[in-house]
Homo-oligomer: A and B are copies of this chain.
Amino acid sequence: MQPQIIPNISVDCVIFGFDFETKSLNVLLIERFLKADEGNEPLVNDYVLTGYHTYEGETLDETASRVLKELTGLDNLYKKQFKVFGDPNRLMNDRDIIWAKNQNFNQRTITIAYYFLLQTHEVNLRNTEHKAQWFPVDKLPALGFDHKAIINEAYADLKEKSMYKPIIFELLPDKFTIKELQDTYEAILGTEIDNRNFRRKLITKKFIVKLDEKQVGISKKPSHLFMFSKDIYQKAYKENYLINI
């Protein structure tokens, strides 16, 4: 038996993935397609975030994890409930109206938006039922509903948090070079960072642990590898209230 859904409450997931080859922050989107009568342009042909209604008896966090797992097969990722989108009319254009009619949506729906952080290579796109695709956060395709606004707010939140919380490490492999850390910061903040200042500042942090290992498979001079220690970070953070306004 299918669990019963709550018709006016849904969860939408902004899945951010960092792509190390292109050094870009991407978002995973699924195709929304509705074909027209023969010979005509499709009625709807754009992209949306993955999301679904909450089930009765399910917490919102559980809904978000279920939606993520159904699309990507993944769980245990960094998950952040960042905002609710509940404007009375979230159908933004003709495509949304056609789509809503086709799907029998006829009710104001409030969506609780989450974002997830991972690396693009963790998701096997061929495994997904939906046509899912990565898009750079600054080169998004036409989007349905208010999903552009949802992505923009998720990105603003991620940007802000990355400046004072160690969430950037969720986008990096376990072992990374300082250059990779800097590339990731630059991609998220959308700005260049002074090389020497960055190294000097980050390398002194006790929670960025230098390993007795170097990159492999690099033809030029391989760099040292580092890892992030959550334990050391949490200990240091508890002891200090730093006002950095």
Q: Decide yes or no whether A243 CB sits under 8 A from chain B.
A: yes
Q: How far is the CA of A245 from the CA of B60 in the complex (A)?
A: 29
- Which one of B6, B60, B81, B164 contacts A8 once the chains associate, using CB atoms below 8 Å? B6
Which residue on chain B has the smallest CB distance to residue A201? B243
Q: Decide yes or no whether A9 CB sits under 8 A from chain B.
A: yes
Size range of the chain A interface in the assembly: 35 or more
Contact, CB under 8 Å: B87 / A84 = no
Q: Which residues of B contact A112 (CB under 8 A)?
A: 84, 86, 110
Q: Which one of A8, A9, A242, A243 has the highest number of Cβ atoms from chain B below 10 Å of its Cβ?
A: A243
A49-84 CB contacts (< 8 Å) to partner B = 54, 56-60, 81, 83-84
User: Please, could you name 18 A-B residue pairs with CB atoms under 8 Å apart, sorted by A?
Assistant: A6-B8, A6-B108, A56-B108, A57-B88, A59-B88, A60-B84, A60-B86, A81-B84, A84-B84, A110-B112, A162-B243, A163-B241, A163-B242, A185-B243, A193-B241, A201-B243, A242-B244, A244-B244
List 20 additional A-B contacts (Cβ < 8 Å) besides A9-B9, A60-B110. Answer: A8-B8, A9-B86, A56-B88, A56-B108, A57-B88, A58-B88, A59-B87, A59-B88, A81-B83, A81-B84, A163-B242, A163-B245, A164-B244, A165-B245, A193-B241, A193-B243, A202-B243, A205-B245, A242-B244, A244-B244
Residues of A within 8 A of B (CB): 6, 8-9, 54, 56-60, 81, 83-84, 86-88, 108, 110, 112, 162-166, 168, 185, 189, 191, 193, 198, 201-202, 205, 241-245
